[in-house]
Each structure stands twice: as structure tokens, then as C-alpha cells.
């Protein structure tokens, strides 16, 4: 709970700090235009990649759970990336662009899948059959 509170407080403070610093370097109007431009580019990229992820999920075979999990993971990370890119700010844009790239999505998804023990789920399904 404290972790989420710290993030909730620190992210806007970091964004305000970055707005001020970038504004000092390139000017306030250019800073605002840059934030709007990253939101537009992010929206376009996320729409394109989101459609790819949905098609991948649509054409995945039910017999191949790894492909389905990967497609759902890609879709989730693309969604989070889109939310971060549409949120005004430079730190959120950087994190959004990082999550947008397939290499980083695959790396994070592999880390998460290592933590999840799917054998528990398969034993439950075997008993119910």
C-alpha cells in the first residue's frame, strides 16, 4: 500500500520537475508541443500494435497455451504502454516507449511467467476432467 502511495506522489513530482527542466532548455511552447506530439505518435503506434496483438490472439491455437499467454501479455503491455504515452509527461513517455518495444515486453513477460507456477493450474484442470 505504501509503495503505491509513494508512486502516486512521486510520479507527478518527477513530471513537474522534468517539465520545468525541459522548458528551460527548449522553451515552454516547444515543451507543450513535444508532449502533444509524443501522445499523437504513441496513439498511432499503440493502435497499430494493438491490432497486431488482437490478430495474434485471434489466430492462436487453443492447443498452444504459450502462444495465447504471449498474445494476452503483449496486449496487456501495449495497453499499459498506450496509457503511459497518452499521459502527459516525459517520464511516463519514456516508460511507455520502453514497454512498446517487443524486446522489453518479451523480457518482462518471461520474468513474470517464471514466477507463475502453471503446474498448479493444470492439476486442477486434470481433476475436473
DSSP one-letter string for 63-93:
T-HHHHHHHHHHHHHHHHHHHHHHSSSHHHH
d(CA 52, CA 6): 35
What is residue 10's predicted lDDT score, i.e. its pLDDT?
Answer: 92
Q: How many CB atoms lie within 10 A of CB 46?
A: 22
d(CA 105, CA 78): 9
Q: How far is CA 68 from the centre of its chain?
A: 18
**Tens place of pLDDT per residue across the chain (129 aa):** 888 899 889 999 999 999 999 999 999 999 999 999 988 988 888 888 888 877 877 777 666 667 777 778 888 888 888 889 888 899 999 999 898 888 898 898 888 878 776 555 555 444 554
pLDDT of residue 61: 65
- By the 10 Å C-beta count (0-12 exposed, 13-18 middle, 19+ buried), 49 is classed as buried
What predicted TM-score, i.e. pTM, was given to this entire model?
0.74
Q: How far is CA 59 from CA 63, 84, 105, 119, in A?
A: 12, 28, 20, 25
Provide the pLDDT for residue 22.
Answer: 94
Query: Using CA atoms, how far apart are residues 113 and 69, in angstroms rounded to an integer?
Result: 9
Q: d(Cα 71, Cα 87) in Å, to the nearest integer?
A: 24
Amino acid at each position: 500500500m505504501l509503495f503505491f502511495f509513494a508512486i502516486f506522489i512521486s510520479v507527478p513530482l518527477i513530471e513537474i520537475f522534468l517539465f520545468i527542466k525541459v522548458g528551460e532548455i527548449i522553451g515552454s511552447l516547444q515543451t507543450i508541443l513535444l508532449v502533444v506530439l509524443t501522445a499523437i505518435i504513441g496513439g498511432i503506434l499503440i493502435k497499430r500494435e494493438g491490432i497486431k496483438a488482437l490478430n495474434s490472439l485471434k489466430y492462436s491455437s487453443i492447443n498452444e497455451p504459450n502462444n495465447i499467454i504471449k498474445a494476452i501479455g503483449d496486449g496487456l503491455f501495449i495497453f499499459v504502454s498506450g496509457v503511459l504515452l497518452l499521459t502527459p509527461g516525459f517520464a511516463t513517455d519514456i516508460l511507455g516507449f520502453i514497454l512498446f518495444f517487443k524486446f522489453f515486453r518479451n523480457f518482462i513477460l518471461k520474468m513474470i511467467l517464471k514466477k507463475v507456477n502453471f503446474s498448479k493450474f493444470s492439476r486442477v484442470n486434470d481433476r475436473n476432467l
